[in-house]
Structure 1
Amino acid sequence: MTPDKLQAARDRVVPDVAAGGLRVLFCGINPSLMTAATGHHFAHPGNRFWPVLHRSGFTPRQLKPSEQDELLGYGLGITNVVARATARADELDPDEFREGGQLLSAKVETLGPQWLAVVGVTAYRTAFGERRARIGPQERLIGGARVWALPNPSGLNAHWSVSTMAAEYARLLAAVGQGPSA
């Protein structure tokens, strides 16, 4: 991918991979330039979402970003807190996160997933005013869905390895397996 193509993708919106009644709707912070340029979520080669999703047990094999639509067959989907693509999440301001949280709440209410899994606890805190939120299940419901804050799979998140992230995603999978009342 050339630098010019990446820059041309700035501010693009990438369509969600979503349908009604999902088991889990994964929610990224916002699309990267690579995601916007390719049209595939979590497309940056350094992003660990796809390996973590597989290692945690959500998918039977590691999907490629270009295979994202296969998630629907597993009852999974992808959206973002903020729709517009940027090079870095720190290019977004708190107002964008709060507005994104309102739009996400409405989207979740319409789609009706059992769980909303926000991949990035800082984005969750800002979008929903939950300053003390930690990784794991949250007390609140959003749009009727249970909420789980997950570690951000970006390669820039050095606090979490693929194996420790997969263990946290597996905790969510275990809760999902218990049904909506988990």
Structure 2
Amino acid sequence: MLPDLLKPNLKIVFCGTAAGSVSAKRGFYYAGPGNKFYPILHKVGLTPYQLKPNEFSKLLKFSIGLTDIVKNESGSDDSLNNSAFDVESFKEKINRYGPKIVAFNGKKAAAWALGKKGRTGKVEYGISDKKIKGAQVIVLPSTSGAANGYWDERKWIELAELFDKS
């Protein structure tokens, strides 16, 4: 759906589940109404100003990359086919580009990447003791407006602290 935004040795790569319907239509990551991705990046200090969705490619200047674990479907997590979750391709990208941190924007992608077969109840928010191809893993509350009930910016502050140390 959306092209990966990756280059070697980034400090952080954000991994979402899949492009939402609005993002897929517009061609920009995290473009849905109510999505908190760009505001929270700025609020916790990962970007010096708040980017707009159509400026997502500027994230590379701040050592931030983007990908999704599902690249051939779009929509809400519940609408995706289990067969669309391409964990091996995701891990190959992490191995190839070697980011210091992999940050999952929501539990669903993390639950697949960490071998839990999408069972989000088996994944905790925060810094994980697991690594993916040498990268530190952190699971963050989703920035999607549809996930407002799970929002907790404290985990995003933890990410910013981890980013500063890397």
Compute the TM-score of the two structures, normalised by the length of structure 2.
Answer: 0.90
Q: Percent of pairs identical after alignment?
A: 31
**Greater radius of gyration (CA):** 1
Whether 2:111 is the aligned partner of 1:118: answer no
- SS of alignment partner, residue 147 of structure 1: strand
1:157 alignment counterpart: 147
- SS of alignment partner, residue 148 of structure 1: strand
1:66 alignment counterpart: 54
1:174 aligned residue (137, 161, 166):
161
Write the deviation string for residues 6-52 of structure 1: whole angstroms up to 9, x where unpaired. xxxxxxx2101111110000111101122122211001122111111
Alignment partners' CA distance in 2, 1:87 and 1:142: 25
Checking the alignment, whether the CA contact within 8 Å between 2:77 and 2:108 is kept in structure 1 is no
Whether 2:56 is the aligned partner of 1:56: answer no
Alignment partners' CA distance in 2, 1:159 and 1:57: 24
Compute the TM-score of the two structures, normalised by the length of structure 1.
Answer: 0.83
Alignment partners' CA distance in 1, 2:75 and 2:105: 17
Checking the alignment, whether the CA contact within 8 Å between 1:40 and 1:65 is kept in structure 2 is yes
- SS of alignment partner, residue 118 of structure 1: strand
Alignment partners' CA distance in 1, 2:112 and 2:2: 22
Alignment partners' CA distance in 1, 2:125 and 2:47: 21
Checking the alignment, whether the CA contact within 8 Å between 2:73 and 2:80 is kept in structure 1 is no
Alignment partners' CA distance in 2, 1:42 and 1:95: 23
Q: Report the number of matched residues.
A: 162
Whether 2:131 is the aligned partner of 1:145: answer no
What stretches of structure 1 of length at least 5 have no aligned partner?
A: 1-12
How large is the RMSD of aligned CA atoms in angstroms?
Answer: 1.5
TM superposition shift of 1:96:
2.7
2:15 aligned residue (27, 30, 43):
27
